[in-house]
Structure 1
Amino acid sequence: MADRFSILVNNVVDALSKEEQKTLLYLCSDLTSGERMDDLQGALLLLGSHAHTHTGQPHPGDSILKELLFQVKRFDILRRILGTSKQEVERRLGQGRILSKYRVLMMELSDSLDTEELKSFIFLMRSTVPKSSLDRATSFLDVVMELEKMDEVSCEKLGLVEQCLKSIQRADLAKRVQQFQKGQHVQVSQHTVQIGTQSGLGPSSQQYGHPQALKTLKFSVPESEMQHIQATGDDYNINCEHHGFCVIIDCIGYDGVLMKHTFEQLGFQVFLHTMLSAQEMYAELRRLSQERDLQRAAAFACCLLSRGSHTHLLATDPCGPGLLLPSLLELFSPVHCPLLRGKPKLFFTQSYIIAENQPGHVQYDQYLETDSVPFRGVPRSVDGEDVLWSMCKTGAWLLETPHQSVYLQALSSALLQAHTRRLHILDALIKMNRDVLEHNLKNPDQIYTITLSHTLQKHLYL
């Protein structure tokens, strides 16, 4: 009997691809009595010699082979080598299964992700899984196995997987994970919050029942990591006659028209200003923050395109000190702009960073506080809720040739798609980040780095 089974195992393994062998090894890895097996053939022979279910009921080794091949849809091997059919195995599985439902679910999730979605999932794991392990990963299961080793994921701990599936816009797969957890009667509310925080994804949506929790919510999205956070509560009231105002200040001369067209498509009344000095930029934003027409606006958006340093915007000025971005945002805080209280305020900034050895680079004392002077110092953090701030930095040397910002093109495309499909704005920004990441991977000499913060109190659909 053992010789016959050994021949079956050899024939089955030879008929499988390397990826299929890895999948089968994963599916049966918790049936090997705690022994870690690195090759499928050895694992199957071990299981055949002492096959069992979790309840201890014996099964012939053939049953394990049949169920494994059924799960990976190799019905041709079932028929040709094991002499059975898909229907016969299906009938037997209706009486009881050997394989872990959790591992089958992970395999099915892996099969459901396309190449781009897998890249996004791996990207989200960079703050949790060592880079060396991610570089070797070729499938969702490869990443899951690393997470299992780290005790970040198991049949009782799926909060991280669920959150990441939501982040890459696979709500259908996230729902399957939820249904599995309900079927297992697993209480994961506390684990979900902890796992999400440790993985760089921020607090889970379960934490948002407390209004105070969202007030200090911030997250960064550089080219090497990405985070996504769901907002809470009901929706902002954007479905009104006047969507809002959008002001665009283009001190570069390339993408202002693109953003004007984008926000007009979204239903905003757009004001485009070009080639302003730093002082003119500040004066225009200050004037707009006092505009009485803001009272009838459902939302406010601001796009700033400028040269600058890592801390200041230069506008068209040849040299500093320039403008601190937080001081511009502060103009629209509830204290200085009460007409926008409770309304979403969106700020998108493309800054082209001047190298430190180039003329115009800003030098400043980071410990100096002069809030009354908007062009120097470090003002207090932005006061207020309902703010979303996305800033992209790249090298000013790109402006030496006719140029279009990859960030702004991705932002425009994502916002318009979100408007058409009625997607949450944070989902739109996930798509934007994915597009920019793809560019960075293909063009390592033209890196765009994105930082994102928000204190949105409700769901926002533009």
Structure 2
Amino acid sequence: MESDVERVTFEDLFKVMKGMTEFETEQFKFLCLRSIPFRTIDQMDITDLLQSLEEKKIISADKYNFLTECLILIGRMDIAHQLGCNTFNMNLLASHLHEYKSFAGLNSFIILLHTLAKGMGEEDVQKIVAYLLKAAYVSRETFKMCHNGFQLMSLLLKVRHIHANNLNRLFDLVQVLKRKDLEEKIKLYQDINSSSDESYKPTSYMPEKNKNKSNDDDDDDKSDKNTDNKERSLEHYKMTAEPCDTNLQHYKMTAKPRGICLIFNNVHFMTENLKDRIGSDVDKDELVKVFTNFHFEIIEYRDLTKTEMQEKLGEVSSMDHREYDCFVCCILSHGTEGIVYGVDGERLPYPSITSPFQPLKCKSLTGKPKLFFIQACQGLAYQSGEEDIEFDCLPISVPPSIPHEADFLMAYATVSGYVSFRSKKNGSWFIQNLCKVFRDCSKKYDLSDMLLMVNNSVSKEDGLVGNQIYKQVPAPLSTLRKKVFF
């Protein structure tokens, strides 16, 4: 399989990272708070920050581990991919980071705060600020520059209002918002840290030329340096942490119908900058055939606005799924990193697609697989020189995501930052190869194996744009706990 991106050299890394948005840079600074002092990090730009990490030997030409984990948390999988972290490793890392564990020495409390901050909107921040001002914890002037969750959490850390040894104040803040989802994240952190060894030792998950001992300057980790000289590979870690189980469980898949298969097929768009997606009906028809054959009840919608898509997602999530074994959602539309478009040109973020089906909101699907297949670009489109090949994207950048709860699969047509291809006549590479593999192999192979086959088959496709041949590779992200057999 050909690589879909050109690897970034250490010299070019600074240029690539400079392309991050101001909000992404703010998140990166936040994740570096335990590595770089408060008094200096505020004044740093991205170049200063990378130079400081290099001077502290946290990153180098042979050591991208810390940076890769930060990029995964921020949602810049495309840069992590260019640093040499493949999709399989990114999935595994994302799973461990969700449990506030780091292979590279990221502080677990900082990961928790990043997770909370990422889930807060400006309205949430203002509610917390109002609460803190009323309680007279800090002055109004102190909060003047707080407009997002990361600015708020940075400030609360700086004034020592919150800390890892006492989570009560953190619980108070999320209760002000009445956000059970954020409260559950804190409880997970609390459970993990009360039942596990605090000195979680980092391990290497990408090849390094020099296997030096950890140079992290966190005081809590200094006593571990002498025990960390022999870093283990990711594969070795997997073998020791989770021994191979030849009797893996699989989800129950015997109900008839198996469940709902919801299909959004956006073809005709109302805005000038979004072309009609000719060929999308070919994809829709194939999906209907395949999932009907898998005994799913098909619900399909065509040409919905962003609001209409949200309403339909809410309606389906409010249904009683107790008699079903699975839920499938297929979205065929224009998109970019982390979002798909309604036909009105309004953006629907991935979390808005999946959140209605999270356990607290859709209890009848708890513990059951929830599978999302998204045919849309995740990056910038190129000018096409061929009439037959088109792209499903627009030049707007929003971080991609996957729901943190278990039992979700997000199968994206392409990796973050890149276009996906669609033929006007034959449909998209991703959906067409997906349906073919499902038809041919579902009686013998489980979903994860079939998605590998889809990756392989799509990677062999060639897209001719002008005189340049372009490639594509899908990017499945999963929190599934068992095998899925259709």
What's the TM-score once normalised by structure 1's chain length?
Answer: 0.45
What's the TM-score once normalised by structure 2's chain length?
Answer: 0.43
Which of the pair has more CA radius of gyration?
Answer: 1
